[in-house]
Amino acid sequence: MSKPKPLTLFDEVARFTRTYFGTDAPDHIAKLITIHLHKPPQLITGPELIGLMDWIRGAVSFLEEDQEIIERYLTELTNLTTR
């Protein structure tokens, strides 16, 4: 039996994003990564994710009005970059 592949940072980002904003929300984050970093989302690094936080804030603001939820989500993403 082979070991399961370890989750990438984007896998974890997608999981949190789906939990907070619904099943299609990770696609928005993936597009931001692809457009701004010119790379596949699965290759994003922690520092790159931190650099996209303002763009991510803007994207999820279209999906959720409650700023407290958005801030909690962004805190969770930041925490992912230090694991």
Write out pLDDT tens, residues 32-76: 999 999 999 999 999 999 999 999 999 999 999 999 999 999 999
Phi, psi of 70 (to 5 degrees): -60, -45
Torsion angle of C-alpha atoms 65, 70, 72, 78, degrees rounded to 10: 180
Q: Are 12 and 19 in contact (CB under 8 A)?
A: no
Instruction: Say what the pLDDT of residue 73 is.
Output: 95
Buried b (16+ CB within 10 A) or exposed e, 31-66: ebbeeebeeebeebeeeebeebeeebeebbeebeee
Q: Are 30 and 41 in contact (CB under 8 A)?
A: yes
Instruction: Say what the pLDDT of residue 3 is.
Output: 77
Instruction: Say what the pLDDT of residue 1 is.
Output: 61
Is the pLDDT confidence value at 4 over 80? no
Q: Are 11 and 52 in contact (CB under 8 A)?
A: no
